[in-house]
Every structure is written in structure tokens, then in C-alpha cells.
A and B are shown apart, each in its own frame.
Chain A
Amino acid sequence: MSKSELDFSIVLAASMHDMKNSLCMLLQSLETLKEQIEPNEEAESEFTKLHYEIARVNSSLLQMLALYREHCNSLPLHIEEHYIDDLIEDLISKNEFYIQGKGLTVELEIEENLNWYLDCDLVTNLLNDILINALKYTKQRILIKGYRSDNQLTIEIHDDGPGYPVHMIEKSTQEMDSALLSQGKTGLGIYFAHLIAAAHENEGISGKIYLSNDSQYQGSLFTLTLP
């Protein structure tokens, strides 16, 4: 096969499919193993680490695919009505293993019956990446808030970790483009979050992300607003 005949999107899709299947089997084997061995602190800690790394690999794969699609101008948005408590519950249950393993507390303050129009998969992936990061750095507590404000949806993730480095907060306030990414001035996760938020548009307003150290728990605070 000549070089020009190779369609990278097909290679990427096929590889992703295989890798996802492997990750799925890995996760399920991990759960089975965990049930079969006598509980001990050391093993629990190793399981938690393994689980965390699987979540990270998965998150990176998702971002790689989404960014590749965006690069090819083929990242369609599938907007539907979703209840935010459902979305956040899904997010927590994806990371339950790690949360329990590290003995962390995740509190929720979601307005009752709060619904919004959004691409559930992309927004879940965005928030999952931020949550994985918060779970890694937080000491004990995480708070997820969801509310309606100025006709926009706001989701906040607070932690009690060391907070974002100052340079990350500064960069996040700049106009974000792929140049920042290629120069290594921002992380892939934040760039991805910015991209997904901005793709959500309604009546001329775009979604935004904000990084700060104004967490209610004195750690970092990630805010997503969607019109």
C-alpha cells in the first residue's frame, strides 16, 4: 500500500476500537480480581492506581480523537436535553472505584430538576478529565455544583488541593488557540475543555471555561458555563 492510500482516520478509528475493547476487558478483570482477593490496604492502593491509569489512558484517547476530528472540521455536536444530576451521577460512578479507594468525599450541590441542552458525551468527557485531575490533587474533598445563572448553565468543580499553578490560570484567561498547545503552554485537557465549551453556541453566546484558585475548599476551582 502506498503512503497516499493510507487513510489516517480509519487507522485511528480501528486502533481506538481495539484499545477501547482492551481497556474494557482490563477494567472488568480488575473488578473481578478485586472481588476475589482478601481485602488489604496495599492491594487496594494498587487497584486504585491501576484504575486511575486506565481512566487517564481512556481520557487521552478520547481527547486525541476529538482533537483529530476538530482538526479535520468534523466534530459534530449532538445537542439534546439532559438533566444535570443524571450527568454528574454518571461521572461519579465512572470514578467510584478511585474515589472509594482513596477515601475521598465528593459532595454535590445540583439545583433540583436542572436540565440543559448540551452534547452529553463531549461535556461528560470534558468534566471527567477535569474531575480525574481534581481527584489526583485533592486532599480530601471535592464539591460539584450545578446551577442556572443569567440564562446559562454553570458547573463548578471545587477541590481542597494545592490549586492551579499561576501560569495555568494566566494562560486560561488568554485567547486559547492551538498555538498555545503546540508551544506546550497549556495542557491538552484544558485545551480540549475550551474547545468543547466554545463549540456549544446559542443565540450568539459561546460556552466558556474558567480556572481559578477561588475554591470553596481553598484549592482549585474549574468552572464551565454553557449558553
Chain B
Amino acid sequence: MQPLNALQIYKGFSFLIVDDFAEFRYSLKQMVESFGAGHVDLAVSAESAIASYGEHFHDFLLVDYNLGDGLTGLQLLEELTLKGLLKHGTVFVLLTGETTLDQVMGALEYRPDDYLAKPFTRNVLKQRLDKLVTLNTQLKPVYQALNNGKPNTAVDCCDKLVAQNPRLAMTCMRLKATIFLKNNEYRKAAQIYQSICQAREMNWALLGLARCYNGFGDATKAVELCERIISKTANAIDAYDLVSECYINLGMFEKAFTATKLAIEQSPNSIPRQRRLAKLCLRYNEYDAAYNACKKLQALGNYSSLVQVEDCVLWLICASYLMYAKPSSRTISITREISQIYRQIEKYDAIQANLAIELHKAYHQYRLKPEEFEQNQFEKVINNVVSLPDPLKPYLVDLLVLLESLLDDNPIKISLSKATEAAKSQLYTQDNQNRAIDYNKSGQLKYSKKEYKAAFDAFKVAFQNAPDNPNIALNLLQTSYKLLGSKNFVLPLELFSLCKQTLNQLAPSDHRYEQSKNLLLHIETKLMSNLK
């Protein structure tokens, strides 16, 4: 067979080159055109790259790590993944200097397909791309299956490929483990990660194993594995994030706080990380730091779509602490920023969030001119809150609790207390994390014995004690799904709604995201058909 002409290989491929340095951008364009690339687009920033990729879905992305202001090349990869835009099989090559290589290698979750250290010649780039083309061609059936939403077919393809070409063993094992992890098949994923670690403990395999343990409900073991990664690689940012999540699951908030602060030191430009920091700062009354984290989160939101209405109300709560509870030299500047916070919240057009603004405005009026305070107006807002048909969102309850604590002995405090008490009783307590862990374990045991009703009861208690824990929410809904349709089983809508709130916090890149979306959809469908 005649070998393909080198220029023909690239003719069918499209490239997106992302670099803020014009000369380098054009130089790279010339290079790939000389390889025969059929279509080449250029982008100067991560934001324009997202728009361009969303339109053309290029085969290759050649991205410089440093992209000036805004997101880095690595964060562009994270953003594309988080948005669920990045297709399986798209080749993402990061161009770095050695100074940024540590950040690239420290990121275990979002790794480019390849990275190339500057300076490189055209030949070096060509050779790398040739290898990536070969690898991608071999893995094409796996990527096709994944893009078509057929993970089991993808796993079968992996097995076939390894039988044909043993050099693909590690790549395929990694792909399989990721697929199992995304489907919450923790035992199958753990088996693969364990066998890899037996040959050599690689950080990404240890992290995968830690995720599996966290999925089993053994957060302690997950922390142990993450700490092993951190002892070897101090900048393994994903390990710090998982440690924080595990400590929160274990109810060890102080340790979670320490781990989050360490992660922020390494890499502050992450929305979920800043969100976690803000919440933990509030828990430990570090209002200034909480406010700063919220502000940073909003600034990151200028380049990302991952900021949620909850984040904006959290910002309002932090501002309220600094304006009213702990006034300081910053109070004046924060008061000036409050209308900006309102605007951010209003963008989401969410009923409960808008009520949060009304509550805040009413309280602010009271603080400014207590003598002109119109009790009726405040009462009216509280009544609107109380008469909401849906359970109150945790952020609204948090604001109610804060305002209640700020009010002096004022008749309005009584109305507010009533609203807060009612909401808190709906929301369940978060105090007893150990109870949550015990009941979650007991639920898992019952579930494995197919005693679904007993499992449901156990998971329900676990969730009542830890309503922020997505693993427990998933377990509870998984069991509910098994029970829906059986006699004498009713899934309380409030409980379902709370689980949904918790799971909606998961980012699209989270390995539990797809399962949670599927589960929510299936349960909603069943609930709807029951109503009919």
C-alpha cells in the first residue's frame, strides 16, 4: 500500500491556535499550514477560543499556557470541559515554558493530550502531531462511542484495542477507569487504579483511587491517598480539592478549611475552590476573607459561565456581615458596591434571589433611618418569603438567619424568627456529620443486600444530617428510583427537591454529574407519570 502523502494527512483536519502573542500565533499558523492543515483559525484569548471552538469543533487545539489577562491555557481546557463542550477525540496541545510546566503536571484532572516546551522546531511539532494523529486514529472507536453516549461500547473497544496493540494498555486502562468512575462503578474503577498503582504509584491513578474510596463512603481512606500524592507533589491541586471535599463530608471543617487555603495558595483561579473558601471563611467568622473570595469568584465569572445565583447571594451575605455585624474601614467601600451585587443577583431572575434583595433593601432602610422604619413594608417581604410554595433555598435561609441575628428587640424580629424557624426545620440540621457517615454506610450495606426500603430510611437520615453531601444525595435518589412504583412507597417532593439542589451544585466535569442528571430526569419522569 502506498503511504499517504504527508500533506494529505492534515488536509482533513482543522486547527485552532490560541496565543496572545501575535508573532507566535502567525508563526504557528505557518507551521501547521506547511503540514497541509485544511482549516486554521486563530484566537487571541481563552474567551475568543471558546467561541471559535463552539462554532467549528476543531480537531486540534494548539494553546499557549500564558494568554495574558483572563484564563490560562490550562484553564481554557478546564472551562471547555466544565461547559461540556470539549468533544472526545479533540486533541488539546498545550505550549509551555518550563516555568509553567509544574502547573500543567500538577493538574491531574484536566490534562492536555500533550504539551510541548518552548522552544521547538517545526520538525518537533510535526513529529508530535504525527504521533497524536496515529494515537487518535487508533482510539477513534472509543471516542465515537463516548461521543454517542455509549460508555459500555467504549469499554469493549478499549479491550479490543489493547489485544491488538499492547502499547495502548496504559492509555486504555486510564480511559476505562475514567468511564467506570463517571458511571459511579467505583469497584471496577478502583480495581484498575489499584493494578496501575501496583506497578508504579502514579499521581493520577492514586487520585482516581481516592475518588473511588470517597464514592464508597470511605472518605478517611481517600484523604490518606490524597496526602500521599501531596507528599510527593506539593502542587497537586486536585488532591487538595478532594481532601477538602472529603473533610467536609467527614464534618472536619477546620481541616477542610486548611486544605482549601493551601489549594488557593497554589491556584486561586478556580470558581468551585473560591466558593468553598468563601463558605468555610464564613463558618469561621473570617468575613473579610469570605468577602474577598466572593469577589474573586465574581471576577473569575467574567471569563466563565460557572457562577451561580447562590454565589451572588453568598456575596450579599458576606457584604452584610461587613456592613452591619463587623463594621470596619471597608464598610463604606462595600456599601458602595452593594448595588453592583444586586445587579449580579438580578441577572438570574430567580424568585428567591430577588426576595433576598428585597429583604436586604428593607433591612438596609431600617439601618439607615430607624426612625422612618416602615414595619409593614418589611413584614410584607417576610410574608412573601413565608408564602413561597417551594422549600426555601439554603442561601435565603442563611440571609434570614443573619438578618434575624442583626435585629434588636424589634417587633419585626419575631416575624423573622418564625420564618427562620420554619425554614430551618425544613432544611435539616448539618451538625451531626458522624451520624450521616454511619447511616450512609448502613444504607450501602442494606442496598447491597437489596433491602431497598431499609436502605432508603438509612440514606434519608444520613441526608438529613448532611444535606450538602452529593454522594449521600445520589445514594438516596438511586434507592428511591429502585423503590418508585412499588407499593406503599412515596418519595416526599421536599426531599427530592433538596437532593436536587445538592446535586445541581455538581460541575458538568464532575464524575457524578452525568449519573445525577440521568437519575434526576428518570425520577422526575416517574413522578410526573405517577401524578397523571
Which residues of the partner chain B approach A78 to less than 8 Å between Cβ atoms?
105, 203, 233
Instruction: Decide: A93 and B123 in contact? CB cutoff 8 A.
Output: yes
Instruction: Decide: B120 and A80 in contact? CB cutoff 8 A.
Output: no
Instruction: Decide: A76 and B102 in contact? CB cutoff 8 A.
Output: yes
Within 8 A of B (CB), among A63-85: 65-66, 74, 76-81, 83
Which residues of the partner chain B approach A90 to less than 8 Å between Cβ atoms?
124, 127-128
Kindly state whether residue B167 has any CB partner on chain A within 8 Å.
yes
Which residues of the partner chain A approach B27 to less than 8 Å between Cβ atoms?
25, 28
Kindly state whether residue A27 has any CB partner on chain B within 8 Å.
yes
Report if A97-B121 is in contact (Cβ < 8 Å); known contacts: A20-B97, A25-B27.
Answer: yes
Which residues of the partner chain B approach A32 to less than 8 Å between Cβ atoms?
30
| Complex Cα–Cα for A121 and B235 (A) | 17
Binary contact readout A1-34 vs B (1 if CB under 8 angstroms, 0 otherwise): 0000000000011101100110111111001100
Report if A117-B121 is in contact (Cβ < 8 Å); known contacts: A16-B97, A17-B99, A21-B24.
Answer: no
Kindly state whether residue B252 has any CB partner on chain A within 8 Å.
no
Instruction: Decide: B24 and A25 in contact? CB cutoff 8 A.
Output: yes
Out of A16, A24, A25, A117, which one reaches B99, CB within 8 Å? A16
How many residues of A are counted as interface, with CB atoms below 8 angstroms from the partner's CB atoms?
41
| Complex Cα–Cα for A24 and B27 (A) | 10
Instruction: Determine the main DSSP class of B at the interface with A.
Output: helix
Residue of A nearest to B23 (CB): A25
Binary contact readout B20-64 vs A (1 if CB under 8 angstroms, 0 otherwise): 010110010011000000000000000000000000000000000
Within 8 A of A (CB), among B105-148: 105-106, 117-124, 127-128, 131
Which residues of the partner chain A approach B66 to less than 8 Å between Cβ atoms?
17
Binary contact readout B82-108 vs A (1 if CB under 8 angstroms, 0 otherwise): 000000000000000111111001100
Residue of A nearest to B104 (CB): A78
Out of B21, B31, B122, B232, which one reaches A21, CB within 8 Å? B21
Instruction: Decide: A113 and B123 in contact? CB cutoff 8 A.
Output: no
Instruction: Decide: B127 and A20 in contact? CB cutoff 8 A.
Output: no
Out of B101, B127, B199, which one reaches A121, CB within 8 Å? B101
| Complex Cα–Cα for A117 and B127 (A) | 22
Instruction: Decide: B119 and A58 in contact? CB cutoff 8 A.
Output: yes
CB distance from A83 to the nearest CB of B (A): 7
| Complex Cα–Cα for A76 and B66 (A) | 21
Within 8 A of B (CB), among A90-126: 90, 93-94, 96-97, 113, 115, 117, 121
Which residues of the partner chain B approach A66 to less than 8 Å between Cβ atoms?
98
Kindly state whether residue B414 has any CB partner on chain A within 8 Å.
no
| Complex Cα–Cα for A58 and B233 (A) | 25
Instruction: Decide: B200 and A81 in contact? CB cutoff 8 A.
Output: yes
Out of A13, A14, A23, A80, which one reaches B119, CB within 8 Å? A23
Binary contact readout B156-186 vs A (1 if CB under 8 angstroms, 0 otherwise): 0000000000110010000000000000000
Binary contact readout B271-290 vs A (1 if CB under 8 angstroms, 0 otherwise): 00000000000000000000
| Complex Cα–Cα for A54 and B118 (A) | 12
Instruction: Determine the main DSSP class of A at the interface with B.
Output: helix
CB distance from A161 to the nearest CB of B (A): 25
Kindly state whether residue A170 has any CB partner on chain B within 8 Å.
no
Which residues of the partner chain B approach A86 to less than 8 Å between Cβ atoms?
131
Which residues of the partner chain A approach B101 to less than 8 Å between Cβ atoms?
121
Instruction: Decide: B202 and A80 in contact? CB cutoff 8 A.
Output: yes
Kindly state whether residue A38 has any CB partner on chain B within 8 Å.
no
Residue of A nearest to B233 (CB): A76
Instruction: Decide: A76 and B234 in contact? CB cutoff 8 A.
Output: yes
| Complex Cα–Cα for A31 and B124 (A) | 12
Instruction: Decide: A21 and B118 in contact? CB cutoff 8 A.
Output: yes
Residue of B nearest to A83 (CB): B167
CB distance from A34 to the nearest CB of B (A): 11
Which residues of the partner chain B approach A65 to less than 8 Å between Cβ atoms?
98-99
| Complex Cα–Cα for A93 and B127 (A) | 8
Instruction: Decide: B119 and A27 in contact? CB cutoff 8 A.
Output: yes
Which residues of the partner chain A approach B121 to less than 8 Å between Cβ atoms?
27-28, 31, 93-94, 96-97
CB distance from A200 to the nearest CB of B (A): 11
CB distance from A215 to the nearest CB of B (A): 27
Kindly state whether residue A175 has any CB partner on chain B within 8 Å.
no
CB distance from A127 to the nearest CB of B (A): 14
Which residues of the partner chain A approach B106 to less than 8 Å between Cβ atoms?
76
Kindly state whether residue A62 has any CB partner on chain B within 8 Å.
yes
| Complex Cα–Cα for A89 and B123 (A) | 11
Which residues of the partner chain A approach B30 to less than 8 Å between Cβ atoms?
32
Instruction: Decide: B166 and A113 in contact? CB cutoff 8 A.
Output: yes
Which residues of the partner chain A approach B233 to less than 8 Å between Cβ atoms?
76-78
Instruction: Decide: A79 and B202 in contact? CB cutoff 8 A.
Output: yes
| Complex Cα–Cα for A13 and B105 (A) | 16
Write the residues of chain A forming the contact surface with B, with a CB cutoff of 8 angstroms.
12-14, 16-17, 20-21, 23-28, 31-32, 54, 58, 61-62, 65-66, 74, 76-81, 83, 86, 89-90, 93-94, 96-97, 113, 115, 117, 121, 202
A-B contact pairs, 12 of them (CB 8 A): A24-B24, A28-B27, A28-B122, A65-B98, A76-B106, A78-B203, A81-B170, A83-B167, A90-B124, A93-B121, A121-B101, A121-B105
Known: A21-B24, A21-B97, A25-B23. 14 other contacts (CB 8 A): A20-B117, A31-B122, A54-B119, A58-B119, A62-B98, A76-B232, A76-B233, A78-B105, A79-B202, A90-B127, A93-B123, A113-B167, A117-B202, A121-B98
Shortest 6 CB-CB contacts between residues of A and residues of B = A24-B119, A13-B99, A23-B119, A78-B105, A20-B97, A117-B200
